[in-house]
Structure 1
Amino acid sequence: MNKVRWGILSTAKIGRVQVIPAMQKSQYAQVVAIASRDKQKAEETANDLGIFKIYDDYEALLADPDIDAIYNPLPNHLHVPYTIKALQAGKHVLCEKPIALTAREAQQLFDACQQYPQLKVMEAFMYRFHPQWLKAKQLVDAGLLGEVKTINAFFSYFNNDAANIRNKPETGGGALMDIGCYCISFPRYIIGTEPQRVTSLIDFDPEMKTDRLTSGLLDFGNGVTATFTCSTQLQPYQRVNIFGTKGRLEIEIPVNAIADEPARLWLQNNSEIKEMLTDPVNQYTIQTDEFSKAILNNTPVPTPLTDAVNNMKVIDALFESAKKESWISL
């Protein structure tokens, strides 16, 4: 069987701990190289994960003719520049979320992709490949919740380390960019349309200048809304509730579903609550499978880049709303 040969840009923790081990379980992918500007880190990661090729320069990895696709988990401000460099080097790219720092930058990437129609680019919202979300979408589309009227998401963790990349505004840190992007993506995926206007309230850390607590309201029109709160300085927790005129669906661990345990959802109709379990899966492996198959079969990627651009438009509008203390139309 043909496999897509992957190169990894950087030794970022998300790659070392989650994505690379999952990619190595894919039947359609082979991780052949990793690059880091710190050669020792590259060597240590390669030894730990059994990766054959090591580069101490990102451009050298991009130039490797034996690499077909790039996984880009670099800091947010490097997502677009190095994804474009990868395209220029003839590589497909799976890029971590958020795809860019702004919608304008995301659009620049979209425009650049038009010059390379043979190459695939996708934002790595791995949650969309998990059976729990496929089940949620199926239940909603089948009308088991009636008409969906509102979706609520909460996502938090605690990290007040000023040296951490997630707490640096210049590199795209903060709650809204790091985890709020999920809370925006959820209702857009389930409802299937884009919000018409948004409003938000943001609390910024006085020293690090990143948003540490962000709440938002998305108006999809026709009385359909979505609300969320995300924080980088609260007790770790995540949950999604989807409310319809006939039922409610709750997703226990919407983002970081545990790979070797069943995922749990609860469907409520009136006073009856039914627990549903999905089989244990690694959503990162499935994401790799589906993206790699799109490359091998030359078919569209599961999530088009327009989705990434639209998600960034909402993020931009939420920041603008907090600044202006008003609703922002999209």
Structure 2
Amino acid sequence: MSSTQASSVLRLGILGGANIARQFTRDVKPSQTVRVDAVASRSDESAKAFADANGIERWFGSYDALLASPDIDAIYLPLPNSLHAEWAIKAADHGKHILCEKPLALDRDEAVRMFEAADRNGVMLLEAFPYYFQPQTAAMMTLIGEGAIGDVRAIQASFGFTVGNPGANIRMKPELGGGALLDAGSYPLSLIRLVMGCAPQRVEAVATWADSRVDISLMATLIYADGRRAQVSCSMDAANHRYATLIGTQGTIDTEYLNHTSAEPRGDQYGYLPSQLRVRRGIPNSVPFETVASEPGSGFFFTAESFARMIATGDAAAIEYYAQVSLDNAATLAAIIDSARREAPVTLNA
């Protein structure tokens, strides 16, 4: 636990006023263990405006000023992808735990430096995939662990949408770490890593490139040392879709692995929808799928609570596990985009 943490409530500061930070702040408000205490922006005016609009008591006119505050235990980092490493390392050097938006880093070397800084300063760095901490994801992993579909042999996972305002959207800017793979593809890839339990041995990818030189869509095949296979698909030029099929020796699992879920059939006031999880326990297609129900809610809420719990309990095993997952994700993302650019298979370093 951070030496500055004076109570059981994790006091969180936000770096930047991105739209996702507004959603995060709103969804975390009901928590009894995490409190958004402050926000920082690049000017006093923008920081105060964000704080006033989102019910945050304190604001800072620079990121450095927030990091220097002794009353902040941890930060939520929703800055552009290209800035994650710089500010995560600075936060760690100020003794702050870091909850960092995905993708954690632009490549494995960046991720290594970030975790080295966290280790050096005795703080936790966690990559924020909200669906990871959804009860639905826990239910999916329980099914797999119980052998409901036998041994997982293959996964097909996708996520895509149509990017808004492409002329100004940071997702279209290569210098900010844009592109379909880092923005959308990091989700299905993380699901694949979660289920497969390791990084692939080799990847082969094909991409379509936008005028700005970012990948607007991409598909990749992942080959594992033990013969398992996975396919990942992502896009920023298609209708919204998010779906995965896990194929086992004795059955299949279908999931939408949504970040945020609702029990309302037509969605709630925030646009959160029910998320499908179903399992077929058997080989023939005559075996009906069973729907698996789970507690709904915001993935931001579940993630923040899990983050606070790991910090409060000093859960070294969880910290080590998620660090390795993030390193594998970073290495695989880098290999996939390299393969797409070279139009050739790429082998990951051992």
Q: Same fold (TM over 0.5)?
A: yes
User: AA paired with 1:257?
Assistant: H
> What is the alpha-carbon distance in structure 1 between the residues aligned to residue 231 and residue 310 of structure 2?
33
Aligned pair partner of 1:308 in 326, 329, 335: 326
User: AA paired with 2:94?
Assistant: A
> What is the alpha-carbon distance in structure 2 between the residues aligned to residue 243 and residue 257 of structure 1?
24
Aligned pair partner of 2:99 in 82, 94, 100: 94
Shift of 1:256: 3.1
Change (3 A) 1:40 1:258: farther
Shift of 1:211: 0.3
Deviation larger for 73-82 or 156-165: 156-165
Shift of 1:286: 1.3
Does residue 46 (structure 1) correspond to residue 51 (structure 2)? The answer is yes
Aligned to 1:76: 81
> What is the alpha-carbon distance in structure 1 between the residues aligned to residue 79 and residue 262 of structure 2?
24
Change (3 A) 1:36 1:277: same
> What is the alpha-carbon distance in structure 2 between the residues aligned to residue 201 and residue 287 of structure 1?
33
> What is the alpha-carbon distance in structure 1 between the residues aligned to residue 139 and residue 8 of structure 2?
30
User: AA paired with 2:297?
Assistant: V
Aligned to 2:335: 317
Aligned to 2:277: 265
Aligned to 1:103: 108
8 A contact 1:86–1:92 mirrored in 2: yes
> What is the alpha-carbon distance in structure 1 between the residues aligned to residue 338 and residue 66 of structure 2?
38
Aligned to 1:23: 28
> What is the alpha-carbon distance in structure 1 between the residues aligned to residue 295 and residue 170 of structure 2?
34
Alignment of 1:101-250 (within 5 A): 101-116=106-121, 118-159=122-163, 161-205=166-210, 207-250=211-254
> What is the alpha-carbon distance in structure 2 between the residues aligned to residue 175 and residue 263 of structure 1?
23
Gaps of 5+ in 2: 1-6, 265-273
Change (3 A) 1:39 1:259: farther
8 A contact 1:157–1:235 mirrored in 2: yes
Shift of 1:70: 0.6
* Deviations, residues 260-280 of structure 1 (Å, cap 9, x unaligned): 545321212332121222121
> What is the alpha-carbon distance in structure 2 between the residues aligned to residue 286 and residue 212 of structure 1?
31
Aligned to 1:256: 259
8 A contact 1:162–1:208 mirrored in 2: no
Aligned to 1:5: 11
User: AA paired with 2:230?
Assistant: A
Secondary structure of the equivalent of 2:181? helix
Secondary structure of the equivalent of 2:199? coil
User: AA paired with 1:153?
Assistant: A
Shift of 1:140: 1.2
8 A contact 2:160–2:234 mirrored in 1: yes
* Deviations, residues 122-150 of structure 1 (Å, cap 9, x unaligned): 11112111111111111112111112111
8 A contact 2:148–2:250 mirrored in 1: yes
User: AA paired with 1:230?
Assistant: C
> What is the alpha-carbon distance in structure 2 between the residues aligned to residue 2 and residue 306 of structure 1?
28
> What is the alpha-carbon distance in structure 1 between the residues aligned to residue 81 and residue 343 of structure 2?
26
> What is the alpha-carbon distance in structure 1 between the residues aligned to residue 8 and residue 118 of structure 2?
25
> What is the alpha-carbon distance in structure 2 between the residues aligned to residue 244 and residue 294 of structure 1?
32
Shift of 1:101: 1.3
8 A contact 2:130–2:259 mirrored in 1: no
8 A contact 2:134–2:259 mirrored in 1: no
* Deviations, residues 224-254 of structure 1 (Å, cap 9, x unaligned): 1110110011111111111112111111x31
Deviation larger for 301-310 or 281-290: 301-310
Shift of 1:259: 4.1
Shift of 1:45: 2.1
User: AA paired with 2:276?
Assistant: R
* Alignment coverage as a number of residue pairs: 326
Shift of 1:22: 2.0
8 A contact 1:26–1:286 mirrored in 2: no
Aligned to 2:305: 289
Shift of 1:294: 1.9
Change (3 A) 1:260 1:62: farther
> What is the alpha-carbon distance in structure 2 between the residues aligned to residue 187 and residue 161 of structure 1?
29
Secondary structure of the equivalent of 1:221? coil
8 A contact 2:97–2:124 mirrored in 1: yes
> What is the alpha-carbon distance in structure 1 between the residues aligned to residue 324 and residue 152 of structure 2?
24
User: AA paired with 1:55?
Assistant: F
Secondary structure of the equivalent of 1:40? helix
Deviation larger for 260-269 or 55-64: 260-269
8 A contact 2:93–2:117 mirrored in 1: no
User: AA paired with 1:107?
Assistant: V
> What is the alpha-carbon distance in structure 2 between the residues aligned to residue 54 and residue 259 of structure 1?
32
Secondary structure of the equivalent of 2:276? strand
User: AA paired with 1:319?
Assistant: I
